[in-house]
C-alpha cells in the first residue's frame, strides 16, 4: 500500500456519503469531484472491470468499489444517496427497477443524466409511490465541468433538495463566489431547464459559426479570425464558447499544417436535446426561431453529399463583401450580440411559459445566475439577464429590459447590414436572420396578419376582429364567390 493509500484508509468512514452508479467519463469525474470535497464515495459500474480500473487509477482516494448493487446500497449511510450516471433512456428505468427492492424508505435516487423531463416526471411519481425520493438533476459542463465544477440544475421536492444541497453546492462551479446550483423546481423542472440550456447552447454555437463563415468569405485568415474571437472574449461577448472558438481557430493540423478547423468535415452531429426543445416549443406555441435555425442548420449540414451535388446545380451570387476588415468585425460583433440576446429572450420566454403551465415557479434570474459558471453557455452577459429578472420578475420579454433594449437599439443597424451583406453574397445566415426576423416581428405594431385573417375568413368563415371594435367581438364577411 502506498503511503497516501494508508493515510486515506485511516480516514475512511464506515459508510459512504454518496454512491455513483455508472462510471463512464461523466460518472467517473463527478465521483472524483465529490470525493475531492471531503466526501466518501462508493462507486458501481455494471461492468466491474471499469470499476477496478477506476479505483486503480485513483489510489489513495476515499472511493469504495462495489461489485453488486446490493453491495453499493449497503455501503451507503442513511438516507442513502445514489447518483445515477447511466445512459439516458431505458438504462435509467432498468437500474431504478433493480434498486427499488434494495432501498429503504426515504433513500434518494438522483438521475444526473440527460433525461427527458417527462421521463423524470414519470420516475418521480413512481419512486414517490414506493416511498423513495427522487431528484432529476441536469448537469452541464462536459467532462471537465464534471471534474472541476459543473452547473447543476436539480428538480424535485424542496425537502429532498435540502438533503442534497451540501454535496451539490460543494461540487458545483463557483461564479463570483456563488455555487452554480440551486433548486430549480419540482419534478421534471431541473431536466427541463437543462434541455433549454442545451437548446440555447445550439443557438450560441450556430451564431458563432455564422460569424466565422462571414469572416471566411471576406478573406480573413484563420489567425485573423482567432485574434478577433480572442479580442471579443475580452468584451461583452465574453463566454466559454467564444473563448474555445478563438483557440480552435488557431490550432494547426499536425499532418498537413493547415488550420485544423478547415480539415474538419462540415457535417454536424446532434444528440437530440435541441430537437426536444423545438418539439416542446411547438407544443406550447412559443417562438424559438434562433434555436430552431440552429437545429436545422445541423440537419442541413449532415446532407453533405446532397449539398455538394446541389452546389453544381443551383446558382447564387458571387460573395462580395467589400467592407474593410475592422469595420466588418465591428458589424458582425453587433449582429452576433443582438442575435444572441434574441436567442436568450426566446429561451427565457419558453421557460416562463412552461413555468406558468406547470406551476414550477421558475426563478429566471436565478437560472441565469447558475449558468454563469461550469456550463457550456457560461458567459459574462448572464449577469445582465439575472439583473433584468431581479429588477422585473414579470418582464414580458428580455428584449424589453432597459439594458438589452439599449444594446439592441444600438446594434440593430449593423445587424441588418450584416444580414443584408450575407444575403446579397449568397451566404446562409439562418440564425442571424431568424433572430432579426423575430426582432422585427416582435417590434411591429402592425403585422400582415390582418390579410391572413381575411384569407381564413374567406375560405373557412373563421371570423375576425376589427380594429375599430372592442377585442373579442367577431365579424364575418360575405366574400365574393370564386369561380373555377
Tell me the closest approach of the beta carbon of residue 144 to ligand 2AM, in angstroms.
18
Query: Taking CB under 6 A as the rule, which mask of x and - marks residues 406-435 in contact with ligand 2AM?
Result: ------------------------------
Closest CA to 335 of 243, 260, 439: 439
Tell me the closest approach of the beta carbon of residue 334 to ligand 2AM, in angstroms.
43
Binding status of residue 43 toward ligand 2AM by CB under 6 A = no
Stretch near ligand 2AM under the rule CB under 6 A, chosen from 22-30, 165-173, 297-305, 357-365: 22-30
φ, ψ dihedrals at 255, nearest 5°: -75, -40
User: 411591429: which residue's cell?
Assistant: 444
- Single residue of 47, 159, 255, 478 touching ligand 2AM by CB under 6 A: 47
Residue of 35, 201, 210, 331 marked catalytic: 201
Closest CA to 273 of 117, 479, 465: 117
Q: Name the residue nearer to ligand 2AM (CB basis): 22 or 187.
A: 22
Strands (DSSP E) found in 22-80: 41-44, 63-65
Q: CB–CB of 138/190 below 8 Å? A: yes
Stretch near ligand 2AM under the rule CB under 6 A, chosen from 19-27, 99-107, 168-176, 364-372: 19-27
Contacts of 327 by beta carbon, 8 Å cutoff, 6+ apart? none
Q: Name the residue nearer to ligand 2AM (CB basis): 50 or 366.
A: 50
143 is catalytic: no
Residues forming a β-bridge with 81: 108
Q: Locate 463 and state its grid cell.
A: 371570423
- Single residue of 15, 36, 37, 50 touching ligand 2AM by CB under 6 A: 50
CA 131 to chain centre: 32
Tell me the closest approach of the beta carbon of residue 441 to ligand 2AM, in angstroms.
43
Q: Locate 429 and state its grid cell.
A: 445566415
φ, ψ dihedrals at 266, nearest 5°: -85, 65
Helix axes 189-217, 289-302, angle to 10 degrees: 60
CA distances from 316 to 73, 214, 312 (A): 64, 16, 10
Residue of 81, 194, 331, 340 marked catalytic: 194
- Single residue of 8, 18, 23, 421 touching ligand 2AM by CB under 6 A: 23
Q: Name the residue nearer to ligand 2AM (CB basis): 86 or 395.
A: 86
The whole-angstrom separation of Cα 99 and Cα 421 is 59
Q: Is 221 left (phi over 0), alpha (psi -120 to 50) or beta?
A: beta
Query: Taking CB under 6 A as the rule, which mask of x and - marks residues 79-98 in contact with ligand 2AM?
Result: -------xx---x--xx---
Tell me the closest approach of the beta carbon of residue 119 to ligand 2AM, in angstroms.
15
Tell me the closest approach of the beta carbon of residue 407 to ligand 2AM, in angstroms.
42
- Single residue of 37, 46, 174, 358 touching ligand 2AM by CB under 6 A: 46
Binding status of residue 24 toward ligand 2AM by CB under 6 A = yes
The DSSP result for 269-293, as a single string, is ---SHHHHHHHHHHHTT---HHHHH
Give the count of residues interacting with ligand 2AM (CB under 6 A): 12
Residues forming a β-bridge with 64: 42
Binding status of residue 22 toward ligand 2AM by CB under 6 A = yes
Tell me the closest approach of the beta carbon of residue 21 to ligand 2AM, in angstroms.
7
Binding status of residue 55 toward ligand 2AM by CB under 6 A = no
178 is catalytic: no
Contacts of 374 by beta carbon, 8 Å cutoff, 6+ apart? 140, 141, 145, 149, 150, 151, 152, 172, 173, 175, 180
Closest CA to 404 of 371, 435, 373: 435
Tell me the closest approach of the beta carbon of residue 75 to ligand 2AM, in angstroms.
17
Binding status of residue 146 toward ligand 2AM by CB under 6 A = no
Active site residues: 194, 201
**Binding footprint of ligand 2AM on the chain (CB under 6 A):** 22-24, 45-47, 50, 86-87, 91, 94-95
Amino acid at each position: 500500500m502506498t503511503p497516501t493509500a494508508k493515510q486515506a484508509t485511516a480516514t475512511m468512514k464506515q459508510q459512504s456519503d454518496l454512491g455513483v452508479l455508472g462510471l463512464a467519463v461523466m460518472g467517473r469525474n463527478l465521483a472524483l469531484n465529490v470525493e475531492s470535497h471531503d466526501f466518501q464515495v462508493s462507486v458501481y459500474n455494471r461492468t466491474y472491470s471499469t470499476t477496478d480500473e477506476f479505483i486503480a487509477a485513483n489510489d489513495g482516494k476515499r472511493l469504495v468499489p462495489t461489485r453488486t448493487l446490493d453491495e453499493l446500497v449497503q455501503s451507503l449511510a442513511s438516507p442513502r444517496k445514489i447518483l445515477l450516471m447511466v445512459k439516458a433512456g431505458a438504462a435509467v428505468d432498468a437500474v431504478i427497477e433493480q434498486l427499488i427492492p434494495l432501498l429503504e424508505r426515504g433513500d434518494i435516487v438522483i438521475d444526473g443524466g440527460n433525461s427527458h423531463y417527462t421521463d423524470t416526471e414519470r420516475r418521480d411519481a413512481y419512486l414517490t409511490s414506493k416511498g423513495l425520493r427522487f431528484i432529476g438533476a441536469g448537469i452541464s459542463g462536459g467532462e471537465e465541468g464534471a471534474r472541476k465544477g459543473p452547473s447543476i440544475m436539480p428538480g424535485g421536492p424542496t425537502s429532498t433538495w435540502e438533503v442534497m444541497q451540501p454535496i451539490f453546492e460543494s461540487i458545483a462551479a463557483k461564479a463570483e463566489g456563488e455555487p452554480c446550483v440551486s433548486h430549480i423546481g419540482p419534478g421534471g423542472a431541473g431536466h427541463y431547464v437543462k434541455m433549454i440550456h442545451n437548446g440555447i447552447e445550439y443557438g450560441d454555437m450556430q451564431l458563432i459559426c455564422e460569424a466565422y463563415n462571414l469572416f471566411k468569405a471576406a478573406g480573413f485568415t484563420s489567425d485573423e479570425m482567432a485574434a478577433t474571437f480572442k479580442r471579443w472574449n475580452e468584451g461583452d461577448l465574453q463566454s466559454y464558447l467564444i473563448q474555445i472558438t478563438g483557440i480552435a481557430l488557431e490550432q494547426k493540423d499536425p499532418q498537413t499544417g493547415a488550420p485544423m478547423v478547415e480539415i474538419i468535415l462540415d457535417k454536424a452531429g446532434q444528440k437530440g436535446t435541441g430537437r426536444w426543445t423545438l418539439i416542446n416549443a411547438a407544443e406550447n406555441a412559443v417562438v424559438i426561431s434562433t434555436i430552431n435555425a440552429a437545429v436545422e442548420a445541423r440537419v442541413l449540414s449532415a446532407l453533405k453529399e446532397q449539398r455538394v451535388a446541389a452546389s453544381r446545380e443551383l446558382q447564387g451570387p458571387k460573395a462580395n463583401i467589400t467592407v474593410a476588415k475592422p469595420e466588418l468585425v465591428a458589424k458582425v460583433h453587433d449582429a452576433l450580440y443582438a442575435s444572441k440576446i434574441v436567442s436568450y429572450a426566446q429561451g427565457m420566454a419558453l421557460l416562463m411559459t412552461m413555468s406558468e403551465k406547470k406551476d414550477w415557479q421558475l426563478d429566471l434570474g436565478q437560472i441565469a445566475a447558475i449558468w454563469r459558471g461550469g456550463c457550456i453557455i457560461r458567459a459574462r452577459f448572464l449577469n445582465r439577464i439575472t439583473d433584468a429578472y431581479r429588477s422585473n420578475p414579470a418582464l414580458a420579454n428580455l428584449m424589453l429590459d432597459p439594458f438589452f433594449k439599449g444594446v439592441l437599439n444600438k446594434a440593430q443597424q449593423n445587424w441588418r447590414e450584416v444580414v443584408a451583406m450575407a444575403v446579397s453574397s449568397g451566404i446562409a445566415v439562418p440564425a442571424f436572420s431568424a433572430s432579426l426576423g423575430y426582432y422585427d416581428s416582435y417590434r411591429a405594431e402592425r403585422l400582415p396578419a390582418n390579410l391572413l385573417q381575411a384569407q381564413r375568413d374567406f375560405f373557412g368563415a373563421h371570423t375576425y376582429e376589427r380594429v375599430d371594435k372592442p377585442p373579442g367581438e367577431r365579424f364575418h364577411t360575405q366574400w365574393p364567390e370564386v369561380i373555377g
